[in-house]
Amino acid sequence: MSGQLTGATDVLWNKPVYLSSLVGSGTAVIGNSQAAQVWNRGGVRVESTNSHASNFVLDLSVIRAERRLGLTVYRPTGFTEIRLT
């Protein structure tokens, strides 16, 4: 299970990894940790319901989890985009 869901930090080469829907498939952005800062607003918010449409009758539950993060880039030249093959 991904750390993005459990609240743990995913790491690669002992460095934190952050997922973003803004970076396309097969692409990664790497950079110096001193070139930017990640801001965390609150904790992980988890909601669930079974009251939408026929979910109650079908014994289904819908779960939504979200986390509010922001990124401040102090030095844009500290980052580069790479293509994964």
Task: Report whether pLDDT(70) > 80.
Answer: yes
In degrees to the nearest 10, what's the CA dihedral of 25, 44, 48, 60?
A: 40
* Assessment of whether the complete model's pTM goes beyond 0.85: no
Domains: count for the chain:
1
In degrees to the nearest 10, what's the CA dihedral of 32, 33, 39, 42?
A: 130
Task: Report whether pLDDT(72) > 50.
Answer: yes
pLDDT digits (tens, 9 = 90+) for 1-43: 455 555 556 787 787 777 778 888 888 888 888 999 989 988 8
The parent domain of residue 33 ranges over 3-83
Higher pLDDT, 52 or 45: 45
- Mean pLDDT (whole number) for 58-85: 90
